[in-house]
Structure 1
Amino acid sequence: MTIYSFSQIILNWYHLYGRKNLPWQKNKTLYNVWISEVMLQQTKVKTVIPYFKKFILKFPNLNSLSCSSLDDVLYIWSGLGYYKRAKNIYETSKIIQKKFNGKFPKNISDLIKLPGIGKSTAGSILSFTLNYSFPILDGNVKRILIRYYGITECSKNTKTEKKLWNLIESITPIHNTGNFNQGIIDIGALICTPKSPKCNICPLNKKCIAYIEKNWIKYIFKKNQKMKLKKIYWFVVVHFKNQVWMKRNTSKQFWNNLFCFPIFKNKIIAIKWLIKNNINVKKYNIINAFDHEFSHFKLEATPIIIKLSSEETFLNIKKQGIWYNLEKPQKIGIPKLVEKILKIVI
């Protein structure tokens, strides 16, 4: 199949079946597409849509975003995960205001220097909004290339990445690049799926090696599989009336800048912390441990619930955190695991 016919097949398919009514497609601005592309990193469209709508409602433009606080951004982002993306978006808005006079850069070399915007994301932003001829290489595109060209040596490494970039650069058309990029993404998301691909209706199946060999399982973009480490943490939930005490997490490992309960690596350290802060340790309730999955490790969480009869015993460290109101929650970013524990408290 020639380069022309490959790209033309994608364009023809997109014209007939491609997604054209996603929220960020209705008003294609550099800002809107940028927000959607960052949200879509490692996250499915279905999950992103409600978060994108809330985000744009709160921050309709670059100026409103850059004038906000990181807590405002994390609050809207709460539950979407991969919170580093939210911080990157916030930092990028500040840089654009300062370095580019509040105007979103249209030069790819400027874009890829911004936090959270790599080569593929930059290509998406510029091709979808301005129809600039830049290729993209997200997970959907990689999967199609590997299956179509029958690439078996496809571990996640620099060599494979370079090979895939060379391929997509060679087949991305100069004209209608935005439609081509959206079309190949849509085929990957809707047809050439990770599991049980719908090969019989794929427009590329005539010359797809995986389809010809009837063996799509053979052609998988394999990550270097490592057993997920399990990390055990104890969460101290100090509960007073309709409030729980939280502090901003400064750990770089996970949930950076989000608010959560005090976290400890074992029960002994947790109890010592309670004693140090004059909290009655005679009465506490330990909830059964449960697991929470991160992309790179598994967290075993054990909540210790402390119900105070008087707030006075805890006033000495109040300035280090906040009393989170369960009836009228403050607008701060909290992770899903914390929400799960809160449901136990409530």
Structure 2
Amino acid sequence: MTKYIFSQLVLNWYHKNGRKDLPWQKNKTLYTVWISEIMLQQTTVKSVIPYFKKFISSFPNIKSLNNSQLDDILYLWSGLGYYNRAKNIYKSAQIIKNEYKGIFPDQFLDVIKLPGIGRSTAGAILSLSLNFNYPILDGNVKRILIRYYGIVGFLKDFRIEKKLWNIIELITPIHNTGKFNQGMMDIGSSICISKNPACKICPLNRKCIAYIEQKWEKYPLKTIKKNSPKKKSWFIIIKFKNNFWLEKNTDKDIWKNLFYFPKFNDKKTALIWLKEKKININKCENMISFSHKFSHFILHIYPIIIKLNKVPKFFKEKSTSIWYNLKNPQHIGLPQPVQKILEIFKKDIS
């Protein structure tokens, strides 16, 4: 199949079946497409939609974002995960403000220099917003090409990646690049999915090697998954009326710049900390423990709740920590496990 036929089949399919009503596809600009593409990194469309709407409602344009604070962005990002993306948006906003007069750049070499933007993301931003002729190579597109051309190899093999870039550059049409790119992503996310793809309704099945061989599971080769290491943390939840004591993480640990409950690697250290703060540990109650999965490990969390009748001196001192008011919450970034715990107490707000 020639490159023209391949791209035309994708475009024809997109015209009839492609997604055209996603929030970032309406009145799209470089700015809105950029935000959506960063949010969509390692995250599903379904998960991104409510966060995107909330983000654009608070920051409707690049000008409003240029004047934002990192805490404002992290607040809107709370629960979406992979917080470095939010930090990259903040860093990019400052660069755009200082180096591009507050206007999102429309040149590839300028876009790709922004934090958190690689070759594929830069191509997606420019092609989907301005229809510029740049290919994309996200996970969905890689899977389609590997199956269609019968490429045997691992996704993370740099030689395979180089080969896929050569192919996608060849078959991406000069005209309607944005629609083609969106069509490829849509086919990859709805038809050519990782497991049990709907090959019979795929517009590319006639020449697809994986379909012809009836061996889709062979493409790409599966890497052997290693068991995720397990870690433990004890959260000390200090409650006074409708307020909860949260500390801002300023280290290079997980959840940097986010607020969380005082966190310890073992229960003994947590109890010693409480004694130092002159808090009666006999009033501690254990909450139900739970696990939170990161990309590279699993964290098992043991929450301990202490309800105070009065605030000890330590908790009145000024610091980067705050009393988080559940009734009138501050705009700060919260990790998902912290949100999960706070949701339990929201039911009892007086």
Residue in structure 2 matched with residue 206 of structure 1 by the alignment? 206
User: Structure 2 CA distance, aligned partners of 1:85 and 1:244?
Assistant: 27
Q: Displacement, 1:313?
A: 4.4
Q: In structure 1, what is the Cα distance between the partners aligned to 2:91 and 2:47?
A: 23
Structure 1 residue aligned with 2:140: 140
Task: Determine if the alignment matches structure 1 residue 321 to structure 2 residue 302.
Answer: no
* Structure 2 counterpart SS, 1:48: helix
**Residue 256 of structure 1: aligned partner:** 256
Whole-Å Cα distance in 2 between the matches of residues 178 and 230 of structure 1?
42
Letter in 2 for 1:265: N
Aligned-pair distance for 1:305? 0.9
The one-letter amino acid paired with 1:114 is: L
1:1-346 pair list within 5 angstroms: 1-220=1-220, 222-223=222-223, 225-315=225-315, 317=317, 319-346=319-346
* Counterpart residue type for residue 2 of structure 1: T
Describe the SS at the equivalent of 1:245: strand
Q: Contact 2:72–2:332 at 8 Å: present in 1 too?
A: yes
Is the 2:155–2:161 Cα contact (8 Å) retained in structure 1? no
CA distance in 2, matches of 1:223, 1:41: 21
Structure 1 window deviating more from structure 2 (279-288 vs 199-208): it is: 279-288
Q: What whole-Å deviation, never above 9, does each CA across 1:107-133 have from its counterpart, x for those lacking one?
A: 111111111111101000111111111
Q: Are 2:153 and 2:220, in contact at CA under 8 Å, matched by a contact in 1?
A: no
| Residue type of the alignment partner of 1:48 | V
Q: CA deviation at 1:88?
A: 0.5
Contact 2:173 2:180 in 1 (8 A): yes
For 2:197 and 2:53, locate their aligned partners in 1 and report how far apart those are by CA, in whole Å.
30
Residues 146 and 221 of structure 1 are in contact (CA less than 8 Å); yes or no, is this contact kept in structure 2?
A: no
CA contact 1:155–1:224 (8 Å) conserved in 2: no
Count how many residue pairs are aligned between Structure 1 and Structure 2. 346
Alpha-carbon distance in 2 for matches of 1:233, 1:195: 35
Shift of 1:282: 2.0
- For 2:340 and 2:153, how far apart are their aligned partners in 1? 41
Q: Retained in 1: the 8 A contact 2:66–2:102? A: no
1:241 to 1:318, Cα distance in 2 relative to 1, 3 A: farther
CA distance in 2, matches of 1:317, 1:225: 47
Deviation at 1:226, TM superposition (A): 2.5
> Is the contact made by 2:210 and 2:216 (CA closer than 8 Å) also made in structure 1?
yes
The 8 Å contact of residues 146 and 220 in structure 2, kept in 1 or not, is answered as yes
Query: Alpha-carbon deviation of 1:155?
Result: 4.0
Q: Deviations over 1:169-226 (max 9, x none)?
A: 1111111111110111110011111122111100000111111111111113645632
- CA distance change for structure 1 residues 221 and 325 in 2, over 3 Å: closer, same or farther? farther
The CA deviation at 1:335 is 1.4
283-292 vs 196-205, which deviates more?
283-292
CA displacement at 1:345 relative to structure 2: 4.2
- Asked whether the 8 Å contact 2:277–2:312 carries over to 1, the reply is no
Q: Is the 8 A contact 1:205 1:211 kept in 2?
A: yes
Return the offset for 1:23: 1.0
4+ runs of 1 displaced by more than 6 Å? none
TM-superposed CA distance for 1:307, in Å, is 1.2
> Which segments of 5 or more consecutive residues in structure 2 lack a partner in the other structure?
none
**Superposition deviation, residue 319 in structure 1:** 2.7
Displacement after TM superposition at 1:252 (Å): 2.7
3-state SS, counterpart of residue 300 of structure 1: strand
CA deviation profile, 1:19-56 (whole Å, cap 9, x unmatched): 11111111120001000100111111111111111111
**C-alpha deviation, 1:329, in angstroms:** 1.3
Instruction: Tell me the amino acid that sits aligned with residue 127 of structure 1.
Output: S
Give the Cα separation in 1 of the matches to 2:2 and 2:250.
Answer: 53
| 1:269 positional shift | 1.1
* Superposition TM-score, scaled by structure 1 size: 0.96
TM-score, scaled to structure 2: 0.95
Asked whether the 8 Å contact 1:31–1:61 carries over to 2, the reply is yes
* CA distance in structure 1 between the aligned counterparts of 2:249 and 2:188, rounded to whole angstroms: 37
Distance across 2 between alignment mates of 1:345 and 1:85: 29
Deviations 1:239-259 (A, max 9, x none): 111111001122434211111
Aligned residue identity for 1:9: L
1:66, 1:97 within 8 Å by CA — same for their partners in 2? yes
Mapped to 2, the partners of 1:68 and 1:301 lie a distance apart of 32
Range moving further from structure 2, 1-10 or 253-262 = 253-262
Contact 1:172 1:180 in 2 (8 A): yes
Whether the aligned pair in 2 keeps the contact of 1:11 and 1:183 (CA below 8 Å) is yes
Cα–Cα, structure 1 residues 115 and 223, in superposed 2: closer, same or farther, change >3 Å?
A: farther
